[in-house]
């Protein structure tokens, strides 16, 4: 009987040590990982205590997009019938380059007019002409304004009368 009692006491003492070492090892491991993450600069405990500065989300979320109106383009199309092309265009840019776009508007108009005057009148009757015009006019706008000042071109009115 005494042999049985000795085996039970030995098993209990081994389990007790394991129950203490496991949480202690986990605590040391997590503490070491926390120290290593702050030492490597992933986060700072002092930043948790510092007051948070509130940034206005509305100002940061909205880009400073500006649409500059280009005067209406009215052209007589060549051909047997007297037809006119009426087009209104806006240039999309940012606030910093608005003055530059305003200043170069006459050059943009000249470039757009010379391009549109060279198009065959029958091409305006084909599908997808608006996309082709937008792409070609955007290429000319980048040539005049530069890549930084130009974002996009919007055709707000397109009529053939």
pLDDT band (50, 70, 90) for residue 4: low
How high is the pLDDT of residue 59? 56
Is pLDDT above 60 for 12? no
- Separation of alpha carbons 158 and 88, rounded Å: 7
How high is the pLDDT of residue 121? 84
Return mean pLDDT, the chain.
84
Is pLDDT above 80 for 24? yes
79-123 pLDDT per residue, tens: 788 889 999 999 999 988 999 999 999 999 999 999 998 888 888
How high is the pLDDT of residue 89? 95
Q: How far is CA 61 from CA 5, 8, 135, 149, in A?
A: 74, 69, 28, 20
- Separation of alpha carbons 66 and 83, rounded Å: 33
Where are the domains positioned within the chain? 2-49, 60-160
67-83 pLDDT per residue, tens: 999 999 999 988 788 88
Residues 18-40: what's their mean pLDDT? 86
| CATH fold label, 60-160 | Tetrahydropterin Synthase; Chain A (3.30.479)
How high is the pLDDT of residue 134? 93
- Separation of alpha carbons 150 and 44, rounded Å: 42
- Between CA 117 and CA 138, with CA 158 as vertex, the angle to 5 degrees is 65
pLDDT band (50, 70, 90) for residue 11: low
Structure tokens at 5: 């009692």
37-48 pLDDT per residue, tens: 888 888 777 777
């Amino acid at each position: 009987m005494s042999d049985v009692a000795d085996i039970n006491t030995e098993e209990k003492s081994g389990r007790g040590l394991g129950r203490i070492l496991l949480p202690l090892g986990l605590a040391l491991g997590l503490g070491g990982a926390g120290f290593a993450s702050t030492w490597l600069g992933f986060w700072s405990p002092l930043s948790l205590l510092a007051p948070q500065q509130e940034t206005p989300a509305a100002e940061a979320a909205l880009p400073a997009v500006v649409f500059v109106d280009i005067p209406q383009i009215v052209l007589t199309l060549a051909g047997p019938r007297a037809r006119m092309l009426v087009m209104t265009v806006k240039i999309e840019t940012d606030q910093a380059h608005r003055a530059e776009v305003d200043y170069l508007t006459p050059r943009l108009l000249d470039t757009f007019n010379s391009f549109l005057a060279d198009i065959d009148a029958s091409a305006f009757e084909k599908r997808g002409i608006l996309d082709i015009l937008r792409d070609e006019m955007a290429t000319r706008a980048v040539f005049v304004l530069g890549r930084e000042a130009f974002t996009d071109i919007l055709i707000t009115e397109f009529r053939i009368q």
